[in-house]
Amino acid sequence: MSNDINEKSLPVNSTASAKKLSTSHKIIEAFADKIAPTRHVPHGERLAQLTNEQKLQIQTIEDHAISNFSGMLDELESALGMLRIGHHFGWRTLYILHSKKTIRKYEEILDIKIRDVFAEEGPSAERSIGLALAKKATNFWKAVSGEFKIENRREVK
């Protein structure tokens, strides 16, 4: 990698160019397509093919969480969203997307441990820029703990 990276040589998408971007964000934008996804995942292969047992498990977890929940409704909604995408992206992507504290809160709401319910990586995991950066730049758990800062960790290609 050349040390001659300057702002004019970095490709920035039209949405991002409307904002003032930090140098690190510009570098991430420049290399995002080279880092992730490592391969193009066809639309038909992006979804986890859930078994009837897995579908029933999700429905049971959801029903239990809804009927027993007390608290801020937006937290229940977010936990249910995590439940619905977990099989597609896997628990590693969820740990990149959310802090450990948030994961614990959602696990408590859903009465699950995500590592017991979801695979390490689902069929859409390769689409996560944050996961790809965590894998290539550092130790995964250092990235999760915040020791290594990941820009655009929530972006999917």
Q: Give one DSSP letter per residue of 71-92, joined into a string.
A: S-HHHHHHHHHHHHHHHHH-HH
Q: Does 152 reside within a domain?
A: yes
Q: Does 74 reside within a domain?
A: yes
Q: Which domain holds residue 105?
A: 36-157
Q: Does 15 reside within a domain?
A: no
pTM reported for the whole predicted model = 0.67
Q: Does 19 reside within a domain?
A: no
How far apart CA 131 and CA 134 sit, in angstroms, is: 5
Question: How many structural domains is the chain composed of?
Answer: 1
Predicted pLDDT of residue 28: 59
User: What confidence tens digit (pLDDT) does each residue in 51-84 have?
Assistant: 999 999 999 999 999 999 999 999 999 999 999 9
Q: Does 30 reside within a domain?
A: no
Q: Does 10 reside within a domain?
A: no
Q: Does 27 reside within a domain?
A: no
Q: Does 145 reside within a domain?
A: yes
Predicted pLDDT of residue 127: 86
